[in-house]
């Protein structure tokens, strides 16, 4: 089984520690949300986990191998990665962007082979964007673009998916659609590790919450164990009330602590 | 609703168009030759004077224009893909001017006398120096403006050094020589000249075409592309080396011809779904056609001294450059 394991991972710049001694295990069958204030080290943690940067100490393992030593093509077979949403450099069609998910399988745009074509078709259908396949990505709404990026990750058919703020700047309805797609991916045996800023959304969809503050993972566990006023105070510096509404935890932020 | 279309049969059509303009270029010239005499000369059955005109003057010149165009078109398209920016181009980024500096240095300091291949090699070293500097800047900053300013700086620096060389060279070269190198021309090129540059151009283009798939991946940004499985370092190195070889070879053959590497990919992009990888080959053919046509114009214009090919290229290309730049006001990284 493909897993991502961090053991005492630290990442430093010259004058400050971005991630301090982080331990994290993540694998198929779970949707894990990473939460933390801006600058808490969430993105750096993901980048170290995936091997884009080398940990200064500790080790990040992907499928039992130090992820920094993996060849890009090898890594891409285990995990798809959605960085914080960035505009596309060229207005490709939705189909072509999704087809880029098959890059590690050797696919060239415009000349897809059978398995690649099927994977792209399936991903388009899963994300409900088949009707947009010929559309220019320059003309999509935020929600459509988010689902296109997600379909691109699904098309890779990797066991793991790592997404950095996949619902940023989406309206509530689109946020729910994206989270449901991720949930569907996990129900089919995948594993999703997602940075989120919406605490209620994370509480509703994630199996586990990983809380970061000032480069450290200060809590990691099921929603009901880790979503507490105390954690919210430490992570975001706010006083908040946590309450149960129709089986889901929700929060009400009262003010800065 | 804007649909993305890919024009079917684009490459065969461009190949046919290229052959057509090259044949046309062989038909036109200051010496009036009837089509039948030209055809006979082409297949080796014409009289000596006709054969000389076709095989030693018109055809090599046409082939040189096409080869230079193809090199600049594909280099431009590849650099645009790597830097994710439609304004990247060997001329704008100062690569051509630096290559011309390398070439003139080799030429006027007698190095070419030692070994003829020193000419293209010096041009390529100049080109690689500039592509290297530009690429290093590009990976540090995402600002298009910064890149173009670096290109302007490199071009001015190369022009200044060339002017200095002019004064200091043991066999001083004339202002018209310098204009030849800075504006570019394919007048009086022979198959020998082509033979010196072509191996480098073809090697560079082969490298760029071999690595073109990665340019599609870069559409999503560098980090996402790496996540897709792209080896970023190899990709950068291949494009820098490939564009350096092709541009350096092209400059050794024809001097610095600007803008064609921007115009051709800009025309092609909407026809290939804006995919940088699929832009490469059609851009090469299109740029080749453009330079062959521009060279026909140069030859037919009744000017006292023949106009430079690069002048025509800039007259068409510079406004196009300004237009594309103005269109980008809403674009990403500015």
> What is the full DSSP assignment across B259-279?
SHHHHHHHHHGGGBTT-HHHH
- Distance to chain B for A200, nearest Cα, Å: 28
Interface contacts A/B by beta carbons within 8 Å = 109
Contacts of B229 in chain A (CB under 8 A): 72-77, 103-104
Asked if residue A18 belongs to a domain, the reply is: yes
Asked if residue A249 belongs to a domain, the reply is: yes
Whether residue A60 contacts residue A46, with contact meaning beta carbons closer than 8 Å, is answered with no
- Distance to chain B for A152, nearest Cα, Å: 10
Domain count, chain B: 1
Host domain of residue B252 = 75-328
Q: In what order do the strands lie in the sheet with A31-36?
A: A79-82, A160-164, A191-195, A31-36, A208-213, A216-222
Whether residue B103 contacts residue B252, with contact meaning beta carbons closer than 8 Å, is answered with yes
Using CB atoms, pick whichever of A76, A91, A134 lies closest to residue B228.
A76
The domain spanning residue A203 has which CATH number?
A: 3.40.50.300
User: What pLDDT sits at residue B215?
Assistant: 97
Q: How many CB atoms lie within 10 A of CB A174?
A: 18
User: What pLDDT sits at residue A1?
Assistant: 73
Cβ contact (<8 Å) for B278 and A110?
yes
Asked if residue A24 belongs to a domain, the reply is: yes
Cβ contact (<8 Å) for A103 and B231?
no
Residues of B with a Cβ under 8 Å from any A Cβ are 1-6, 84-85, 213, 216-221, 223-224, 226-232, 269, 272-278, 332
Asked if residue A198 belongs to a domain, the reply is: yes
Asked if residue B36 belongs to a domain, the reply is: no
Asked if residue B296 belongs to a domain, the reply is: yes
Asked if residue A136 belongs to a domain, the reply is: no
Using CB atoms, pick whichever of A47, A92, A104 lies closest to residue B229.
A104
Cβ contact (<8 Å) for A77 and B231?
no
The domain spanning residue B134 has which CATH number?
A: 1.10.3470.10
The ipTM (two decimal places) reads 0.92
For B101, phi then psi, to 5°, come to -60, -45
User: What pLDDT sits at residue B173?
Assistant: 65
SS3 state of residue A160: strand
Contacts of A139 in chain B (CB under 8 A): 1-2
Host domain of residue A42 = 4-86+159-256
Question: Which tens digits make up the pLDDT trace of B105-146?
Answer: 888 887 888 888 998 999 999 999 998 888 888 777 767 678
Contacts of B85 in chain A (CB under 8 A): 89
- Asked if the model's pLDDT at residue B31 lies above 90, the reply is no
Burial environment of residue B53 by CB neighbours within 10 A (0 to 12, 13 to 18, 19 or more): buried
Whether residue B162 contacts residue B125, with contact meaning beta carbons closer than 8 Å, is answered with no
- Asked if the model's pLDDT at residue A85 lies above 80, the reply is no
- Asked if the model's pLDDT at residue A126 lies above 90, the reply is yes
Contacts of B220 in chain A (CB under 8 A): 86, 88-89, 97, 100, 152
Contacts of A97 in chain B (CB under 8 A): 219-220
Cβ contact (<8 Å) for A92 and B4?
yes
- Distance to chain B for A175, nearest Cα, Å: 21
Q: How confident is the model at residue B334 (pLDDT cuts 50, 70, 90)?
A: very low
Q: Angle CA(A61)–CA(A63)–CA(A69) in degrees, nearest 5?
A: 55
Q: What mean pLDDT comes out for the span B308-333?
A: 79
Domain count, chain A: 1
Asked if residue B246 belongs to a domain, the reply is: yes
Question: Which tens digits make up the pLDDT trace of A160-180?
Answer: 999 999 998 899 999 999 999
Q: How many CB atoms lie within 10 A of CB B303?
A: 8
Asked if residue B187 belongs to a domain, the reply is: yes
Looking at residue B219, the DSSP 8-state letter turns out to be: G
Asked if residue A164 belongs to a domain, the reply is: yes
B306 conformational bin, left if phi > 0, alpha if psi -120 to 50, beta if neither: beta
Cβ contact (<8 Å) for A93 and B273?
yes
Cβ contact (<8 Å) for B277 and A101?
no
User: What pLDDT sits at residue B332?
Assistant: 45
- Asked if the model's pLDDT at residue B1 lies above 80, the reply is no
B247 conformational bin, left if phi > 0, alpha if psi -120 to 50, beta if neither: alpha
- Asked if the model's pLDDT at residue A15 lies above 90, the reply is no
User: What pLDDT sits at residue A112?
Assistant: 92
SS3 state of residue B86: coil
């Amino acid at each position: 089984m493909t897993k991502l394991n961090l053991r005492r991972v630290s990442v430093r710049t010259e004058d400050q520690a971005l991630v301090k001694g982080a331990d994290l295990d993540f694998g198929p069958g779970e949707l894990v949300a990473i939460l933390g204030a801006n600058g808490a080290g969430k993105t750096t943690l993901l980048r170290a986990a995936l091997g884009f940067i080398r940990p200064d100490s500790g080790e990040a393992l992907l499928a039992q191998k130090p992820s920094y030593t993996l060849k890009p093509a090898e890594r891409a077979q285990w995990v798809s990665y959605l960085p914080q949403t960035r505009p596309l450099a060229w207005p490709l069609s939705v189909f072509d962007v999704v087809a880029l998910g098959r890059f590690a399988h050797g696919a060239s745009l415009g000349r897809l082979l059978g398995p690649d074509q099927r994977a792209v078709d399936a991903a388009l259908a899963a994300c409900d964007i088949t009707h947009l396949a010929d559309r220019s990505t320059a003309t999509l709404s935020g929600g459509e673009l988010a689902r296109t990026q997600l379909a691109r990750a699904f098309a890779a058919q990797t066991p793991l998916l790592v997404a950095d703020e996949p619902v940023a700047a989406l309206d509530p309805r689109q946020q729910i659609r994206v989270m449901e797609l991720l949930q569907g991916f996990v129900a089919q045996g995948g594993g999703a590790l997602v940075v989120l800023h919406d605490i209620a959304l994370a509480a509703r969809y994630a199996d586990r919450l990983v809380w970061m503050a000032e480069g450290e993972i200060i809590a990691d566990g099921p929603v009901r164990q880790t979503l507490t006023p105390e954690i919210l105070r430490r992570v975001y510096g706010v006083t908040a009330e946590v309450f149960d509404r129709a089986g889901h935890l929700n929060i009400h932020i009262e003010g800065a602590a | 609703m804007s649909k993305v279309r890919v024009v079917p049969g684009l490459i065969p059509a461009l190949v046919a168009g290229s052959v057509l303009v090259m044949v046309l270029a062989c038909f036109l010239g200051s010496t009036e030759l009837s089509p039948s005499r030209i055809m006979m000369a082409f297949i080796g059955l014409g009289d000596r004077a006709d054969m000389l005109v076709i095989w030693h003057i018109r055809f090599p010149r046409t082939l040189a224009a096409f080869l230079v165009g193809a090199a600049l078109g594909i280099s431009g398209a590849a650099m645009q893909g790597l830097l994710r920016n439609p304004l990247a181009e060997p001329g704008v980024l100062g690569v051509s001017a630096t290559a011309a500096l390398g070439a003139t240095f080799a030429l006027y300091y007698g190095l070419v006398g030692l070994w003829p291949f020193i000419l293209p090699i010096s041009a390529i070293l100049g080109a690689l120096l500039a592509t290297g500097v530009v690429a290093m800047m590009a990976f540090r900053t995402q600002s298009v403006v910064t890149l173009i300013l670096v290109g302007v700086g490199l071009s001015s620096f190369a022009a200044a050094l060339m002017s200095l060389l002019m004064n200091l060279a043991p066999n001083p070269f004339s202002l018209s020589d310098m204009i030849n190198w800075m504006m570019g021309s394919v007048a009086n090129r022979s198959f020998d000249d082509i033979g010196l540059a072509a191996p480098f151009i073809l090697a560079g283009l082969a490298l760029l075409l071999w690595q073109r798939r990665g340019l599609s991946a870069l559409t999503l940004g560098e980090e996402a592309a790496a996540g897709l499985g792209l080896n970023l370092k190899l990709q950068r190195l291949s494009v820098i080396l490939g564009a350096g070889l092709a541009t350096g070879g092209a400059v050794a053959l024809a001097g610095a011809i600007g803008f064609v590497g921007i115009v051709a990919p800009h025309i092609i992009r909407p026809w290939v779904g804006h995919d940088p990888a699929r832009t490469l080959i059609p851009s090469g053919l299109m740029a080749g056609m453009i330079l062959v046509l521009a060279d026909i114009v140069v030859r037919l214009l009744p000017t006292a001294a023949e106009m430079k090919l690069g002048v025509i290229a800039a007259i068409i290309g510079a406004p196009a450059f300004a237009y594309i730049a103005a269109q980008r006001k809403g674009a990403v990284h500015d």
